[in-house]
Amino acid sequence: MNMTFRWYGRNNDTVNLENIQQIPDVKGIVWALHHKPAGDVWEKEEIQSELEYIQSFGFHGEVVESVNVHESIKLGNEERDFYIENYKQTIRNLGEFGVKVICYNFMPIFDWTRTELYKELPDGSTALFYEKLKVDNLDPQELIDTVAAASDLTLPGWEPEKLARIKELFEAYKEIGESDLWRNLGYFLHEILPVAEEAGIKMAIHPDDPPWSIFGLPRIMTGRESLEKLLAISDSPSNGITFCTGSLGANPANDMVKLAAEFAGRSPFAHIRNVKIYENGDFIETSHLTSDGSINIKGVVKELSDIQYEGYVRPDHGRHIWDEKCRPGYGLYDRALGIMYLHGLWDAYQSEKRGNSNVSNS
Ligand code: DNO
């Protein structure tokens, strides 16, 4: 298990690399050039400058999250080949600087979606919350009008350049169903995977969050069948998964322990966090502790330990605790607590495997 921490860069994050150095055994920083619009080539000089900074703190920068996929590629329109060529160039450039994993997603228009960013939990902390009915009942036209009218709207996980094009994008997706999206994903992967292989990079698709269709837009990375279907597109070793417990786990039908047993070997990257799911389908993010939420985090880490998982792991969204002011879900404190829980589970399962030896480094 190669522990990492997601960081949004020198100008974009309340957390700094000195802070992250004080969390035990974090080996790498999960980074991105967050200022780059989807579809632009990441130039070598920009990559080098970011990586040199990260490495100067003793961290590796082997995981990038995300290189976002341009909507033309998801839509499969006539501009897609241009953007796929750019994507390939970005892969080559990242490979040259030792990047090993690129996390990406194939969600139309919206990345992760929540109805409240600071919902209070019983312990007084706040966390990201999803109210199912609210999203189910939202009229997409109302959403388009709100977004189009708000000139300064920013949402986490939202690429700002999409704001201006929201109407046009919704219009274009009217033509696109799930099977079209699968076809377009297949086309994209067949184009880029040979380049990724040559560059020594594994592509790791992030599941949809939440893992069901929202606002009438198709979503296809939603559960076991999707993961199987994704892997069936190509058996290239570069065709992989970001195993995200909180995204897939928001649907109680997805048993994350079983899925870990089945798919961890094809997941070069894992996001581990917990969510509490309510009977009406709402969910809230909790601490990483198994008993705080609905996902068996212990069981997932046990599966990883059983296969001596060597991939990259990061804690995922945390609560906002101890009055921390931070990016929603991406503070320092709760994610650091999450890391210590994951380390603890891992160490315990590892020493159990080795027969409970009391040698401290066993
Ligand atoms: C949310 C993240 C996602 C993820 C992208 C990957 O916090 O897990 O935004 O980075 O979906 O492309």
Catalytic-residue membership of 206 = yes
Q: Which two tokens stand for residue 128?
A: 């990201």
pLDDT, residue 140, reads: 75
Q: Distances in Å between the alpha carbon of 168 and those of 148, 160, 164, 165?
A: 11, 15, 9, 5
User: What is the reported pTM?
Assistant: 0.95
Mutate to test the pocket of ligand 1, among 90, 102, 103, 272 (most ligand atoms within 8 A of CB): 103
pLDDT, residue 156, reads: 62
- Cα dihedral angle (206, 212, 215, 218), rounded to 10 degrees? 70
Measured CA to CA, the distance from residue 200 to residue 98 in angstroms comes to: 8
Average pLDDT over residues 35-48: 96
pLDDT, residue 289, reads: 98
Q: Is the pLDDT of residue 25 over 80?
A: yes
Q: How many angstroms separate the alpha carbon of residue 181 from the centre of ligand 1?
A: 19
Q: Could you give the angle at which helices 333-353 and 297-306 cross, rounded to 10 degrees?
A: 50
Least confident piece of the model among 90-99, 121-130, 294-303, 348-357: 348-357
Task: Break the chain into its structural domains and give their ranges.
Answer: 2-360
Judged on CB neighbours under 10 Å (0-12, 13-18, 19+), 240 is buried
Atom number of ligand 1 nearest to Cα 329: 7
Q: How many angstroms separate the alpha carbon of residue 203 from the centre of ligand 1?
A: 14
Average pLDDT over residues 40-63: 98
Average pLDDT over residues 251-265: 98
β-bridge partners, 31: 64
Query: Which of 76, 87, 111 is CA-nearest to residue 201?
Result: 87
Query: Which of 293, 273, 88, 308 is CA-nearest to residue 191?
Result: 88
Strands in 116-120's sheet, in edge-to-edge order, are 116-120, 126-130, 283-285, 275-277
Q: 176-230: per-residue pLDDT in tens? A: 999 999 999 999 999 999 999 999 999 999 999 999 999 899 999 999 999 999 9
Q: Residue 130 — pLDDT band, cuts 50, 70, 90?
A: very high
pLDDT, residue 250, reads: 97
pLDDT, residue 158, reads: 66
Query: Which of 200, 157, 2, 184 is CA-nearest to residue 66?
Result: 157
Catalytic-residue membership of 271 = yes
Size of the chain, expressed as the number of residues it contains: 362
With a 6 A CB cut-off, is 335 part of the ligand 1 pocket?
A: no
Q: Residue 165 — pLDDT band, cuts 50, 70, 90?
A: confident
With a 6 A CB cut-off, is 106 part of the ligand 1 pocket?
A: no
Residue 70 per-residue DSSP state: P
| Mean pLDDT, all residues of the chain | 94
pLDDT, residue 166, reads: 84
Measured CA to CA, the distance from residue 362 to residue 351 in angstroms comes to: 6
Query: Which of 106, 131, 137 is CA-nearest to residue 250?
Result: 131
One CATH from 3.20.20.150, 3.40.50.300, 3.30.450.20, 2.40.50.460 for 2-360 = 3.20.20.150
Average pLDDT over residues 249-272: 98
pLDDT, residue 142, reads: 78
Catalytic residue among 316, 320, 333, 341: 316
Catalytic-residue membership of 316 = yes
Measured CA to CA, the distance from residue 235 to residue 218 in angstroms comes to: 25
Average pLDDT over residues 56-71: 97
Q: Residue 362 — pLDDT band, cuts 50, 70, 90?
A: very low
